[in-house]
Chain A
Amino acid sequence: MSQPQTATLAADDITLAHRQFVVAENLSLHLPTAQVTAIVGPNGCGKSTLLNGLARIHTPKGGSVLLDGKDIHRLPSKEVARKLALLPQDNTAPEGLTVADLVRFGRQPHQGWMTQWSKEDQRAFDQAIQAADVAGLADRALDTLSGGQRQRAWIAMAVAQQTPLLLLDEPTSALDLGHQIEVFELIRALSGQGKTIAMVVHDLASACRYADHMVAMKNGTIIEEGAPAEIVSPELVQELYGVSCDLIHDPATGSPLLVNVRRNP
């Protein structure tokens, strides 16, 4: 069997820099298994950089990222790709590429040099498009789809990789409300299947609603970490975004809701 059922991902005291500019220093984070972790914070706090660092896109200048306890940068990239899938923020695809073509790319980490498309690949492909509910769109070109459909197609590709870990960088930023819900519910469903998921989320309310674990960042450091119901407070909101608010709880889901958000006088 080529797919491990679980894998752990952690950052161990890492320092991330962009060119000469240090974005985050001495960060440590352990992703809770089979849960959805949301990384939130104001613009420029380093959350995308952290996610990309965890995904080995950026190499930390200090410390190390540990995949199953081993330094991720010492592992062959293909092996990592079998345990960790990433949905980056910028998703441009070649013109005319169909959904099916895109999802097929997700099988690459499992394919050797000259191996052809195998039954295993086909099974993973079918599973992925079912899970992301893009079966009916399989032969459509990506550029003809709506934003929500396109994101689901990209998630289908990540699912086809059959990895226990899935990282998503702002998966719903450019989407309208309906499509946002679509994507978040898919993410929750994937988590229900046992995947460990981390996502950078722009909107605090969505993060509260759909995440099990929240990591709040500011200026390159993690200032709070825990279940949303526990850590989200008017004080946290003030510290992250510099605005005042009142906090109530969603009567249906119990997750914290911000109301009366206002700028400080």
Chain B
Amino acid sequence: MLNALSPTSVVASRAFFPPLLAAGFLLLLVVLASLLYGAGPVSASDAIAALMANGTEEAWFVVTELRLPRTIIALVTGLALGLAGALLQSMTRNPLAEPGLLGVSAGSGFAVALAILLGATTATLTTLVAQLGALAGCALVIAATRVQGLGNDPVRLVLAGATLTGLLLALTSMLMLIDQRAADEIRFWITGSVAGKPLSILWATLPSITLALVLMATVARPLAAMALGEKAAVGLGHHPGRIRFLITLTVALLVGSATALAGPLIFVGLVVPFIARAFSGPDIRKTLWLCVPVGPAVVLGADVVSRLIAAPAEMPLGVVTALIGAPVLLAIVRAGRMPSL
């Protein structure tokens, strides 16, 4: 049975690499599209010319100073959210467990709003606050899933998350009403968007993301074993409590970083693992590997769409992810029984 879990099993690999390669290829295409297309006056051909070092100053500026950072930020956000979603769903064994739906992103946003209200201004500080907010949110959510009976009822957890999100959004709105000056700045943070964000934010989140990736690598195999049930995992020599703690920390770091980069985005953590699982099956390690190209592809793809769909204006990324994600949610529901993890 263990052999079946190991990704080095030959039969498994054969089925696994084509989707991985395809996803990687798709990702490259999306990156290219992101550099070429935008809402502004620099067209695709201008951009190509710029990349070939043949273009105008303006085109070069737009591609390297605007689109490139934006692309990178979107990629990192997608990576973080996709992985976080997959981890959370595997740990709670709930296919609807999504950091956005469960209020973690809203918690992060609220923490940032509060911090701004209280005077925080530098990018680093708000990034840190976003991550702390996400950590608190995650801890709450994980504690909630440990409540008796809740683990078996995915819908109740999602309802609780929706309620928490509503509460946090209302509190954030209230903060914005109380202090008009801070309101504009808060609005900039809490609207899910990667537009106009400076690369400096990325440097601020890089340590957390790196730590999260390292943690994830260590915890992936035990997590796969936990899919057999906690008692079986203990029998194999793992420590479920410790694993849960590490995963909570990992998810918090990932979601906090993503929210610090792009504001609260819902549904990404639902869509990406959903797509990945379609090709990887129930093995969490394969799912995580597939999330690596799929996550960035989805978010960056959504960002490209957000630039084009309402040109010359831009639609906020959060709106596009909601529009993409909700049908996926509905598809999961329509599929009959809740797909088991």
A and B touch in the complex (CB under 8 A): no
Residues of A within 8 A of B (CB): none
B-to-A contact residues, CB < 8 Å:
none
